[in-house]
């Protein structure tokens, strides 16, 4: 812990000189000191959050924040061009992994701008416009990945597991969000109607920012917690922490499965109502 007998500036200066403590201890001391600086009004809360995000990026790896394989919007090279165009327009992403045969055989990345700009040209072939796919292991550190994205001007990487199977994808936006928080771009959906989407298997795909009132109206539930307004807030309050991706949480007969989350917030969940237990 920081020495309370030293001034804030003295403690910050201490980090410029070698100390016998471990890097983890020094890191925590620095964070504690910066939090005190925020309390004293020397830095604002947004700056503190970003600094803490930088530390998190240094400790996380690709498997911690990747978009799982099941949630990827894939392009099958064998599809007719009309179907590919329809899929790209519906998903509204800028980049798509393209596979041939099986989804573990990724042959490249298709940019939406290339497809929509040139698809009307004579003899257009999707294969001719594929960009090389970038593959990374699940264990790759986010700090290293961010530098690679910047140096190589890539924006999407395919994450593979130890068996060389595709585990998911990760974008430069996913990494930056660990520092600055959720980034709303021109393709993000804001309408309340899209906060809750019914899936074919009966599950409900829920955005973490969905208000409890809207969730209750859709599922017929009666969740009401003082000072909690969103589904993500409900789950975090119930657990007492931010859950990890893939974690299952049961609250009053509803099971929540975390589909996408980072160390600071929940982005996407699946909700399913469990059968009522007999009295």
Residue 189's pLDDT band (boundaries 50, 70, 90)? very low
Residue 169's pLDDT band (boundaries 50, 70, 90)? very high
Is the pLDDT confidence value at 254 over 50?
Answer: yes
Which residue would you say has higher pLDDT here, 236 or 38? 236
* Per-residue pLDDT, 109: 95
**What's this model's pTM, rounded to 2 decimal places?**
0.57
Is the pLDDT confidence value at 250 over 90?
Answer: yes
Crossing angle of helices 45-59 and 172-180, in 10° steps, is 130
* Per-residue pLDDT, 182: 61
Crossing angle of helices 45-59 and 23-39, in 10° steps, is 170
Instruction: Compute the distance between CA of residue 250 and CA of residue 255 in angstroms, rounded to an integer.
Output: 4
Instruction: Compute the distance between CA of residue 42 and CA of residue 35 in angstroms, rounded to an integer.
Output: 10
Instruction: Compute the distance between CA of residue 158 and CA of residue 135 in angstroms, rounded to an integer.
Output: 5
Is the pLDDT confidence value at 249 over 70?
Answer: yes
Domains parsed from the chain with CATH numbers: 63-180 (3.10.580.10), 196-273 (3.30.465.10)
Is the pLDDT confidence value at 186 over 60?
Answer: no
Give the end-to-end CA distance of the chain in Å, rounded to a whole number.
52
Is the pLDDT confidence value at 215 over 70?
Answer: yes
Which residue would you say has higher pLDDT here, 259 or 11? 259
Residue with token string 């109607």: 193
Are 276 and 261 in contact by the 8 Å Cβ rule? The answer is no
Residue 173's pLDDT band (boundaries 50, 70, 90)? confident
What would the pLDDT profile of 98-108 be if each residue is shown by its tens digit? 999 999 999 99
Which residue would you say has higher pLDDT here, 192 or 130? 130
Residue 260's pLDDT band (boundaries 50, 70, 90)? confident
Residue 279's pLDDT band (boundaries 50, 70, 90)? low
What would the pLDDT profile of 17-34 be if each residue is shown by its tens digit? 555 556 667 667 777 777
Which residue would you say has higher pLDDT here, 29 or 114? 114
| Three-state SS annotation for 214-260 | HHHHHHCCCCCCCCCCEHHHHHHHHHCCCCCCCCEEEECCEEEEEEE
């Amino acid at each position: 812990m920081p020495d309370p007998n030293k001034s804030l500036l003295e403690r910050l200066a201490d980090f410029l000189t070698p100390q016998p403590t471990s890097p983890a201890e020094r890191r925590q001391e620095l964070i504690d000191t910066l939090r005190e600086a925020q309390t004293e009004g020397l830095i604002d809360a947004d700056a503190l959050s970003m600094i803490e995000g930088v530390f998190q990026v240094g400790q996380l790896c690709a498997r911690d924040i990747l978009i799982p394989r099941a949630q990827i919007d894939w392009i099958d090279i064998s599809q007719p061009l009309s179907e590919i165009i329809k899929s790209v327009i519906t998903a509204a992403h800028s980049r798509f992994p393209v596979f041939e045969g099986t989804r573990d055989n990724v042959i490249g990345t298709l940019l939406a701008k290339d497809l929509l700009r040139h698809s009307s040209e004579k003899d257009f072939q999707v294969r001719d416009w594929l960009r090389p796919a970038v593959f990374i292991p699940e264990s790759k550190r986010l700090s290293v990945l961010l530098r690679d994205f910047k140096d190589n001007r890539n924006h999407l990487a395919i994450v593979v597991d130890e068996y060389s199977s595709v585990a998911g994808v990760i974008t430069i936006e996913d990494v930056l969000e660990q520092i600055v928080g959720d980034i709303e771009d021109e393709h993000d959906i804001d309408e309340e109607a899209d906060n809750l989407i019914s899936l074919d298997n009966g599950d409900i795909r829920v955005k973490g920012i969905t208000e409890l009132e809207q969730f209750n109206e859709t599922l017929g539930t009666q969740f009401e917690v003082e000072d909690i307004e969103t589904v993500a807030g409900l789950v975090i309050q119930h657990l007492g922490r931010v859950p990890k991706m893939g974690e299952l949480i049961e609250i009053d007969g509803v099971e929540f499965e975390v589909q996408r989350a980072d160390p600071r917030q929940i982005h996407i969940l699946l909700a399913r109502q469990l059968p009522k237990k007999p009295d």
